[in-house]
A = this chain, B = another copy of it.
Amino acid sequence: MDAETVSKAFVEHYYTTFDANRGSLGSLYQETSMLTFEGQQIQGSQNIVAKLNSLPFQQCKHTITTVDCQPSGPAGGMLVFVSGSLQLAGEQHALKFSQMFHLMPAQNTFYVLNDIFRLNYA
């Protein structure tokens, strides 16, 4: 699979899983993984899942607008840059967001080494 196919498959998997059961996203991260969520820095799979589970909403639906990807260097990593919107249950307006992932190869698959999320307040 080329980089674009991997990126799009990852993005589809990530947001579908997030919207269905975000507590199960932990398997995408490792102990060295980092998440910066609206400026808050979190490290490690367990802490990242705890943060996602603590978000003050239950149901949500991500809609993806753009996915861009680039190889990140000789180690075989891949940068994935996403823009989209996030509809929270019971809210009238969707929130726009941008998010980037740095995927690193590991045993025939990829894990998320870096994850940075920001809402783009309109």
Q: Which of B41, B72, B83, B122 contacts A98 (CB 8 A)?
A: B83
Q: Is the CB of A113 within 8 A of B36?
A: no
Q: Measured between alpha carbons, how far is A36 from B74 in the docked complex, in Å?
A: 19
Contact check, A68 vs B118: say whether CB atoms are below 8 A apart: yes
Whether the pair B98, A68 counts as a contact (CB closer than 8 A) is: no
Shortest CB distance A106–B (Å): 12
- Oligomeric state, in copies: 2
Contact present for A96 and B120 (CB under 8 Å) = yes
Main SS of the interface on chain A?
A: strand
Residues of chain A in range 80-122 having any CB-CB distance to chain B below 8 Å: 81, 83, 96, 98, 100, 102, 104, 113-114, 116, 118, 120, 122
Please give, as numbers and ranges, the residues of chain B lying within 8 Å of A58 by CB-CB distance. none
Contacts of A73 in B (CB 8 A): 75, 77, 102, 104, 113
Q: Is the CB of A116 within 8 A of B36?
A: no
